[in-house]
Structure 1
Amino acid sequence: MSLWPVYTGSSEPHDGIDALPAPPPWRSFDGGPALPPPSEQDEVPGGIHRAETYQPTSKTVQLVNAALYLRRPLLVTGPPGSGKSSLPFAVARELRLGGVLRWNITSRTAVTDGLYQYDPLSRLYAAGKTGVRADGPRPAAPDREETAIEDHLRLGPLGTALLPYDRPRVLLIDEIDKGDLDLPNDLLHVLEEGRYEIPELVRAARTHPVAEVMVADSEQRVAVRHGEVGCRAFPFVVLTSNGEREFPPAFLRRCVRLELRQPLREQLEDIVRAHLGPLDERDHALVDAFLHRGSAGELATDQLLNAIYLTRTSGLDAESREELAGALMPYLGRAAETWDVDDV
């Protein structure tokens, strides 16, 4: 029997992912042989705290479950500090899906960077040290040219997420709007098909059909056959965007889209409570100041958390605390830099 919602937003770990119904016929994947799920240990520093303190809205819970059921990527847009990059950690912890694979996008990022990294120069150097020629016949170890490839190749976060795990991995593709204009379209084929090839291993497959390749988030090696990788359980992919650019329609229609907004007072207080415990009178005053300043320009929730933490621990008098809090909550947008919040 299926379970809705699979992800509840409670932050209490459970095995509800096993009750996920079969995918739609057009999103069924048959990669293999099956790999056991990774351990629950989170490899990203601070990831467990982010997971435990994340406060999802009811809309977030609904759309996360839609992405899980449909086996579609979740495109999350919103202002800085709205919790976009914390969401995958919360889902991974509650559903016991192991550590979050993270791929940070820059202007120079290509889709192959997320799939795998291959260092031909280190392989050439190793071949020279062992007396093996990398460009032709070699006197020792007849298959060494091919088998050496896997020693200089490692799967990236996207490539690891698409391995044939029994349970879906969680992949965060952070700030995709920073990437090259072609990156979303380049991702389309991989995310649609749930598989990819490693050309270096494909070329070597005639004499070396199975390669033991290192994954992105550990020293573990997995068998890649004939240079092809395909998933069994489509990963839960979260793509974050600050809303700074438009994406191609073909890309957007293949994603479940979630837009996050700045939290309201009650949500802010819940966030502070989750991170720092009960609020006192001074904390409520800082929340008031944050909301007042936020009406004049863009602020991030972590600015409020920083201000409350320091005013609690600094031992400053009331006037100094207010001055420090104001300095910790500057506007993020240039348009508000010269604004006086008291005039708003």
Structure 2
Amino acid sequence: MTEALDEYGKYGDGVPSVYETNTHPLDEHKMSLRLKKAIRNLEGACDQLCATLAPPLHTIVNRAQDYYWSCLRVAAQNKIADLLDNTTGGMNLESLAHESGIEPSKLRILMRTLAARHCFQEVKDTGFHGTVYDWMKVNGDRRAVMSSSMPSMNSVMGTLSIIEGYPWEKISTVCDVGCGNGSFVWSLLQKFPQIHVTLFDLHETLEAAKQAAGCLAQELQSHLHFQPGDFFKDSLPKSVDIYYLRNIIHNWPDKDVLTILASIKNVMGPQSRILIHDYTMHSFQNQSPHHSLDQAPWPMLPDFGNGSMRLHYQDLTMLFMYNSKERTLEEVKNLSQNAGLKLEQIRDLGETTVLEFGPA
């Protein structure tokens, strides 16, 4: 680090800010061998430090989900940098989408990802569906692979932190909406055996969950109720304490999310709560001081930049697989309000967030 700073001192102006849009000192000067070696050391050291401190699966998932190169290719092919270079103060999303010919919601995902890697700077916020699930219904082997991968993803994403990060000791009944193979429920009951859980999912998915339930002690298995159903068509159990949705709403476009939330609202009791456990995109516009996400300290990017890169990769994955997206806090709040719900609390779990909603 010291060697790199010393080399920049030779150019007179020091190290420019990552937000600087003027000519970079090294655009006019040849990078010295000393600086080149210093940067190589820093890049290698930072990457190795992260790989050393993070669990191996964390590192592997980050590598596997790296869509950065494809985003950069799309930006280059559509001359995004040229379009922005012809403006002063940037360009709002709608104008940039119009000029580039890219659909706005897809362009937003692409630009967020590239901004997190410092290719651009975000200065302001301004169909078919269900095909993957329909395909998996008739491709049981693929469905099994997806289901079996979820426990490992839970470990990487830290989603089971919710078991330590919520007052489950006060809870008697839970409905795991879209429970998958039930991995969350097994961990929950082992820690809080007083809870009775309804596992709600498609029939073919619940069959796998029933088999996996064998990992529980017999007395805990008696706390399980398996209810096959489709949350677009079938009613959920009434007046449950907690309706838990983990990695659910990011799979669906807005109109379907509204249907899911309204369906749950219709069966909630006065004390029932919905926990939406998912990734939440940062938005720096119109955030209430009481309902906002953690932000990184200056001079880091407010959304932690590369430290939250998996969030952006997930955003792209949702687009590619489901024609959906990860949502900002404001987007989730707006959908919930339209379903007759109000946001009561945010729990930041480091990578994912848990948004708690009650009846409005």
Bigger RCO of structures 1 and 2 (CA < 8 A, at least 6 apart): 1
TM-score by length of 1: 0.23
Scaled by the length of structure 2, the TM-score of the pair is 0.23
